[in-house]
């Protein structure tokens, strides 16, 4: 079987991150295949659930993927405290007679960042703005492996597992068609509050939604693994609102940054050796408009391009409640707009304090004000079929897929709706509901349920 072709046809993309098309990632050769099941963001349950319930499927897919990339080392990385999941995986590995290591990680954030994971497992740092393949590794999320196993059986990516936590009666898993409105999922989740904000993803790197209209328009995608419901008055929601304005951030930084360096000393990218010193970016922020020389601009703000957006600096490190992450976002945009380039260190080496500088998850949870929701696990998985779905044609990094259907057509689950753009990075998009195509555009397709 042509593994890459099956994965490409099925529209598999990274299930745990930004949605990098998997057939492209697996086209290279690597010595080490790492399966990322660390799930380091607080309150997310999805990867644990998959490890417990689909261990044999995961092990089968690992064999196919490692043959594809020519890997002679296969590693599943997850937290050492996930005893049940580790046991399920060990049994599946033994049953298959497979050569797969279990790598037990500590309970810290961001253990699931692939560059941090590679550093811990291989002992080398990925180059700045590089990928694990640069040091001979391919990292796949455990959810991606489940989708690969389906693809090898001829089944495209049309359903998604995701967990719901926070202000709900109990955390739950859901398996729903791609394109399901998140409000449909919430309506089955036992919400305990009526006025709420919603995080799509994890509390550190997810997308915070506070506008009810935006929440009503949000749908489940191939990359959405978690919904977290917070009361509208929760501290995370309030501080998120405050961090949206750059001139306010500049004013706050100028008056409150005490140059303590905590944002730098605890920054995971700094610790693995990247040029990432947010305290210097913060020090120079106030004089941004006065710097006209490009070389000086890069010296002052160039580090920002190496920021991975993990949020430790603003949610955990800074004693003054400042937002180096948001400031880095601003300078990433400015550097792009100005057409400036920042040199890359291709051979970074980890700095002293790499281990001691890790952020313990439970302390992070406390800092985020999420302790009340921690330690409640999703054991039940619910499935349902929504009345309508809206399936976006861009659920991945790169170009949107190109629609191939017309409004009014009857479609079935698994039918191809939009083909990957052949002129760049892209991925196929399939129908997730039997029904009638009521609307289709370059953005996506709406389907209403109907017996076909
Ligand atoms: S968000 Fe902050 S801690 Fe994370 S990589 Fe960027 S600067 Fe470092
Ligand atoms: S941690 Fe906060 S106060 Fe300290 S240097 Fe960084 S931004 Fe400034």
DSSP structural state of residue 408: T
Under 8 Å between Cβ of 254 and 286: yes
185 and 276 together in one domain: no
* Pocket lining for ligand 2, CB < 6 angstroms: 257-263, 278-279, 282, 317-318, 320, 322, 324
How far is the C-alpha of 416 from the C-alpha of 419, rounded, in Å? 7
Under 8 Å between Cβ of 278 and 328: yes
Average pLDDT over residues 342-371: 95
How far is the C-alpha of 33 from the C-alpha of 17, rounded, in Å? 17
Percent of the chain whose pLDDT exceeds 90: 95
pLDDT for the residue 450: 82
Q: Which helix (H) or strand (E) holds 116?
A: helix 114-122
Is pLDDT of 324 > 80?
A: yes
Number of domains in the chain: 4
Q: Exposed (0-12), middle (13-18) or buried (19+): which is 69, by Cβ within 10 Å?
A: buried
175 and 137 together in one domain: no
- Residue 20 CA, ligand 1 centroid: distance in Å: 21
* DSSP letters for 133-173: GGGTEEEEEHHHHHHHHHHHTT--S-EEEEEEEESBSS-EE
Q: Which helix (H) or strand (E) holds 368?
A: helix 361-368
Average pLDDT over residues 240-247: 79
pLDDT, mean over the chain: 96
201 and 337 together in one domain: no
Closest C-alpha to ligand 1, atom 3:
267
Is pLDDT of 17 > 90?
A: no
225 and 317 together in one domain: no
Confidence of residue 452 (pLDDT cuts 50, 70, 90): low
Closest C-alpha to ligand 2, atom 4:
260
Is pLDDT of 127 > 90?
A: yes
Domain harbouring 373, CATH code = 3.10.20.600
Residues 6 or more apart whose CB falls under 8 angstroms from that of 340 comprise 294, 297, 298, 302
Average pLDDT over residues 363-391: 96
398 and 443 together in one domain: yes
Structural domain for 433, as ranges? 388-452
Domain harbouring 396, CATH code = 2.40.50
152, 169, 201 - which closes a domain: 152
57 and 175 together in one domain: no
Domain harbouring 95, CATH code = 3.40.50.11540
Is pLDDT of 344 > 90?
A: yes
381 and 409 together in one domain: no
- Give the residue, out of 109, 307, 351, with the most ligand 1 atoms within 8 A of its beta carbon, to mutate for a pocket test: 307
- Residue 345 CA, ligand 2 centroid: distance in Å: 24
How far is the C-alpha of 362 from the C-alpha of 81, rounded, in Å? 13
11 and 86 together in one domain: yes
Q: Which residue in 397, 415, 423 sits closest to 155, CA to CA?
A: 415
100, 130, 152 - which closes a domain: 152
- Residue 47 CA, ligand 1 centroid: distance in Å: 24
352 and 418 together in one domain: no
Q: Is 190 left (phi over 0), alpha (psi -120 to 50) or beta?
A: left
20 and 135 together in one domain: yes
- Residue 242 CA, ligand 2 centroid: distance in Å: 17
Per-residue model confidence as pLDDT tens digits over 287-314? 999 999 999 999 999 999 999 999 999 9
* Pocket lining for ligand 1, CB < 6 angstroms: 267-269, 276, 278, 307-313, 324-325, 328
Confidence of residue 169 (pLDDT cuts 50, 70, 90): very high
259 and 181 together in one domain: no
Is pLDDT of 46 > 80?
A: yes
Per-residue model confidence as pLDDT tens digits over 401-424? 999 999 999 999 999 999 999 999
Q: Exposed (0-12), middle (13-18) or buried (19+): which is 313, by Cβ within 10 Å?
A: buried
């Amino acid at each position: 079987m042509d593994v890459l072709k099956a994965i490409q046809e099925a529209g598999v993309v990274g299930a745990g991150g930004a949605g990098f098309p998997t057939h492209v990632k697996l086209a290279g050769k690597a010595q080490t295949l790492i399966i990322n099941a660390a799930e380091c963001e607080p309150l997310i349950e999805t990867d644990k659930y998959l490890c417990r319930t689909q261990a044999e499927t995961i092990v089968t897919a690992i064999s196919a993927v490692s043959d594809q990339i020519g890997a002679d080392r296969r590693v599943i990385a997850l937290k050492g405290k996930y005893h049940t999941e580790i046991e399920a995986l060990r049994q599946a590995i033994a049953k298959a007679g497979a050569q797969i290591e279990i790598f037990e990680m500590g309970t810290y954030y961001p253990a699931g960042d692939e560059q941090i994971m590679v550093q811990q497992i291989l002992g080398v740092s990925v180059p700045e703005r590089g990928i694990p393949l640069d040091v001979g590794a391919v990292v796949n999320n455990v959810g991606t492996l489940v989708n690969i196993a389906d693809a090898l059986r001829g089944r495209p990516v049309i359903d998604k597992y995701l967990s719901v936590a926070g202000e709900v009666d109990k955390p739950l898993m859901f398996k729903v068609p791609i394109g399901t409105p998140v409000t449909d999922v919430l309506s089955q989740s036992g919400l305990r509050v009526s006025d709420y904000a919603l995080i799509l993803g994890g509390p550190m790197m997810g997308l915070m939604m506070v506008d009810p209209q935006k929440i009503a328009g949000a749908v489940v995608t191939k990359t959405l693994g978690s919904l977290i419901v917070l009361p509208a008055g929760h501290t995370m929601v309030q501080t998120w609102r405050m961090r949206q304005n750059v001139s306010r951030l500049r004013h706050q930084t100028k008056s409150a940054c005490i140059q303590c360096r905590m944002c730098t000393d605890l920054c995971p990218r700094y610790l693995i050796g990247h040029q990432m010193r947010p305290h210097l970016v913060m020090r120079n922020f106030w004089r941004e408009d006065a710097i006209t020389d490009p070389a000086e601009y890069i010296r002052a703000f160039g580090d920002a391009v190496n920021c991975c957006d993990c949020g430790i600096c603003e949610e955990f490190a800074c004693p003054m409640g400042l937002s180096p992450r948001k400031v880095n976002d601003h300078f990433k945009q400015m550097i792009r707009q100005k057409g400036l380039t920042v040199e890359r260190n291709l051979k970074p080496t980890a700095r002293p304090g790499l281990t001691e500088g890790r952020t313990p998850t439970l302390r992070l949870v406390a800092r985020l004000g999420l302790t009340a929701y921690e330690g409640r696990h999703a054991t039940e998985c619910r499935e349902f079929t929504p009345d309508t779905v809206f399936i976006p044609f861009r659920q991945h990094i790169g170009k949107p897929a190109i629609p191939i259907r017309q409004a009014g057509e009857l479609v079935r689950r698994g039918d191809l709706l939009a083909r990957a753009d052949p002129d760049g990075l892209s991925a196929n998009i399939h129908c997730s509901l039997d029904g009638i195509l009521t609307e289709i555009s370059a953005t996506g397709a709406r389907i209403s349920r109907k017996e076909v």
